[in-house]
Amino acid sequence: MTNFFEIDETNKTIKTLNLEDFSVEDLKLYISELTNEIKRVKEEMEKKEKFKRSAEKLFK
């Protein structure tokens, strides 16, 4: 996904893109990559929530 992003490793941030610079095909690819990244983030959140629920059960 780094084709579209400039990543600031120190601050763990992504710089905003000027979308006017992209063609329609580039924008479609960008949306696809963002969709995949959202899915990956949601999966990670679910893993963390599951771990948290397990830990809460253990300490009750």
Domain count, the chain: 1
The tens digit of pLDDT for each residue in 8-58 reads: 788 878 877 888 989 999 999 999 999 999 999 999 999 999 999 999 988
Is the per-residue pLDDT at 3 higher than 70?
no
* Residue 40 counted as domain residue: yes
Closest to 3 (Cα-Cα) out of 42, 43, 40, 36: 36
pTM of the model: 0.69
How many Cβ atoms from other residues are within 10 Å of residue 8's Cβ? Answer: 10
Q: Output the pLDDT for position 21.
A: 86
* Residue 41 counted as domain residue: yes
* Residue 10 counted as domain residue: no
Q: Output the pLDDT for position 1.
A: 47
Provide the token pair at 39: 């899915």
Q: How many residues are recorded in the chain?
A: 60
Instruction: Give residue 28's domain range.
Output: 19-58
Tell which wins on pLDDT, 36 or 3.
Answer: 36
